[in-house]
Structures are given as C-alpha cells and as structure tokens.
Amino acid sequence: MQRIRVFFSKTEAMRYTGHLDMQRAWERLLRRAGLPTVYSQGFNPRPRIQLAAALPLGFTSETEIVDFWLETQHEIHALEDQLKQVAPPGIAIHQVEEVSEEEQHAPALQSLMQSAEYLITLLQPIPDLPERTASLMAVDHLPRIRRKKKYDLCPLIFALDVLPNDEAGHQRLHMHLSAKESATGRPEEVLDAMGIEPHLARIHRVALHYEQSVG
C-alpha cells in the first residue's frame, strides 16, 4: 500500500463545488487515471481519500492537499503525469509526493491544521478600508454569533493587512486566521465584522500551516 499526497489548486471552474463533491471529484479523477485506489471494507466501500482542509463554497485556493492510498507501488513522476492528464478544469496539480513509511499511519491532515492565509479581493470599493482594518485590529474582543453559538473572533485573527490594489484596481486584503479543528476563523466573518458584504468579495486561500512540516 502506498500513501500519496498531492498539492493542488482549486480554481474558478470548481469554485462552487463543496467539500463532499470535491471528495467525489477526486474519486472520479483516480478512476479516470485507472489507479487502484484503496477502498474501505464493509457494506458500502468508500475510497480512502482525505482532503486536508475543507474549503467553503465559493472560495478558491492554491494550497489544497489531498491524501489517498493505492493498492500497489507507483513511481512518483509517472504518477504525477497520469494525474495531470486526467485532472478536470478546476483542479491544477502542483506536486505529488509519496508519504514516507514512518508517516504512513500518521493522523489525518485535518487534525494537524493550525492556520490558514487568505487573499481577499473586493469587488466594490471601500474608501475607508485602511481605517476599518485598523479599528478591527485595535479591539481586544469581537463577540459574534454563528449558527446560534457565541464566540470571540478576535483571538482567531493572527494578521489582517491591506495590500496594494490588483491590476483591475480592486482593493485587496490579506488575512491570517486560526484554522484549528476546534477554533476556525472564517474570512467571511472577518469581512462581515468590517462591514463588508462577503458576497462582494473574492476569497482565495494562499497558505495552510500544519503542526508538522507538510510540504
């Protein structure tokens, strides 16, 4: 059995493909490649495919990671070519690695997640963006309610910066947020706290940070 790790981007074409559908997209991709994916035993066998960090609907990302297991050993360069050939629009494969013998049974990536960085592009101008950013970072508490649960957004924000505008003149923000399983900072919550309508922003994940060095 071989544990494979793939680093990839989720691009515009799959922006509205949810986490479960992404899982299925990988299952189909592996079947197109004709690879012997390992399946779970039992009544309803499922392919052993683990996506590192769920990406909310509507976000794109250049830093996705997936692990899957193959029944037989494969040469990594040949495998990379094979995967690239069958990748659908929306999945751009950057790098393919074999997870070492020792790490074979390491916990799922999801449980090792620490933080994530996002690039936000605003589709409508916010003239006082620097002021809003500064005042958000100045407070010690940001009590919010999500799905009827109260929480404090403040400790989940590690960094929030205004970036230079993009070529089309759109304003941009950089966010570094906690992404632990129990304490996830959501970029749309930060935007909302700044008084910016999240649906008028493009949210793009640019980095994932793990407890161990991954990639």
Nearer to other proteins, 15 or 144 (CB): 15
Nearer to other proteins, 138 or 168 (CB): 168
Nearer to other proteins, 90 or 185 (CB): 90
Angle (CA) 91-210-14 rounded to 5° is: 20
Rounded to a whole number, what is the distance in angstroms from the first to the last CA of the chain? 21
Q: How far is the CB of 59 from other proteins (least distance, A)?
A: 10
Nearer to other proteins, 12 or 152 (CB): 12
Q: How far is the CB of 91 from other proteins (least distance, A)?
A: 10
Q: How far is the CB of 100 from other proteins (least distance, A)?
A: 27
Q: How far is the CB of 120 from other proteins (least distance, A)?
A: 13
Contact 78, 91 (CB under 8 A): no
Nearer to other proteins, 134 or 200 (CB): 200
Q: How far is the CB of 72 from other proteins (least distance, A)?
A: 12
Residues binding other proteins (CB under 8 A): 12-18, 20-21, 24-25, 27-32, 34, 36-37, 39, 43-45, 47, 57-58, 86, 88-90, 123, 198-200, 202
